[in-house]
Amino acid sequence: MQRLAAEWPAQRITLGDMIHAFGERGYGLLVILFAIPNLLPIYIPGLSPIFGVPLLIVCLQLALGWPEPRLPGILTRRSMRRADLEMIVAKATPWILRVERFIRPRPSLLTTRTAERLIGLYGVALAALVIVPLPFTNGPPSLACLIMAMGIMERDSITILAGALWGLVATVLALSIIGGFLWVLQAGLAWMLSLFG
C-alpha cells in the first residue's frame, strides 16, 4: 500500500486500480484497504459509505466462498486523489505495524476455509455498521474487520479471535449509539408535533 501510494503515476486512483495492483493477495488486503480509512482520527464527509459498501461486498463474497473478490464497475470506477491515499496510508501505517508485531502463524479450526466463510459473514454484519453515517459507529467495527483480516492472511487463530471479540464490543457500542440517535430523533419529532398540536 505504501508503494502504491508513492509510485502511482496519475493524480487520481480508482478502486479498480487498487484491486488490480494487489493481484492475488486476496480478501485480506482488500478488507484492510477498505477498513483503514474509517480508522483515521479525522472526519472526511461521505467516507464511511465509500469504503463501507465495498467492505461489505468483499466480506459477503468471502462468506459465499468465492475464490477471489470482485467488485461491480460502479464501485471500481470510484476514485480518490493519490495525495489522499498517501495521507491515509501514512496515518494508518504506525498502527498496523504495532498490530503486526504480535501476529504469527497459529493455525487451528479458526484458520480453515469453513471458518473463513463464517468470518466473512460476521464481517458483513460489521460492515453494515461501518456504513451508518454516525460518529463512532465506523471506526470500531472497521478495526475488528482489519484485525480479523490480518489474522486470516497470517493464519493466526489468536489474532482472528481478538478481532472477533473486539467486533462484539464494537457492535454493542455502535448499536447503543444508533439507538440513542433514534431515541433523540423520535423525542425531537414528538416535541415538534406537540408544538403544532
Q: Which residues on adjacent β-strands are paired with residue 106?
A: 156
> Would you state the pLDDT for residue 88?
80
pTM: 0.76
Alpha-helical (H) ranges within the chain are 2-7, 15-22, 26-35, 47-64, 73-76, 82-100, 113-131, 139-154, 157-195
From residue 119, give the alpha-carbon distance in Å to each of 25, 31, 37, 53, 124. 18, 12, 21, 17, 9
> Would you state the pLDDT for residue 167?
96
Q: Above pLDDT 90, what percent of the chain?
A: 31
Could you read off the pLDDT of 10-25 as tens digits, one per residue? 888 887 787 777 765 6
Residue 140 confidence class, pLDDT cut points 50, 70, 90: very high
> Would you state the pLDDT for residue 171?
94
> Would you state the pLDDT for residue 147?
92
N- to C-terminal Cα separation, the chain: 58
pLDDT at 135 over 80: no
State how far the Cα of 36 lies from the Cα of 96, in Å rounded to an integer: 9
State how far the Cα of 46 lies from the Cα of 180, in Å rounded to an integer: 21
Residue 187 confidence class, pLDDT cut points 50, 70, 90: confident
> Would you state the pLDDT for residue 120?
94
Kindly state the average pLDDT of the residues 100-123. 90
DSSP 8-state symbol, 101: T
Residue 186 confidence class, pLDDT cut points 50, 70, 90: confident
> Whole-number mean pLDDT of the chain?
85
Give the closest residue to 38 by CA, choosing from 154, 172, 177, 170. 170
State how far the Cα of 70 lies from the Cα of 73, in Å rounded to an integer: 9
Kindly state the average pLDDT of the residues 131-145. 87
Bridge-based pairing of strands 79-81 and 12-14 is antiparallel
Kindly state the average pLDDT of the residues 75-91. 82
Could you read off the pLDDT of 27-69 as tens digits, one per residue? 888 898 888 888 876 656 667 778 888 899 999 999 998 877 8
pLDDT at 177 over 80: yes
pLDDT at 192 over 60: yes
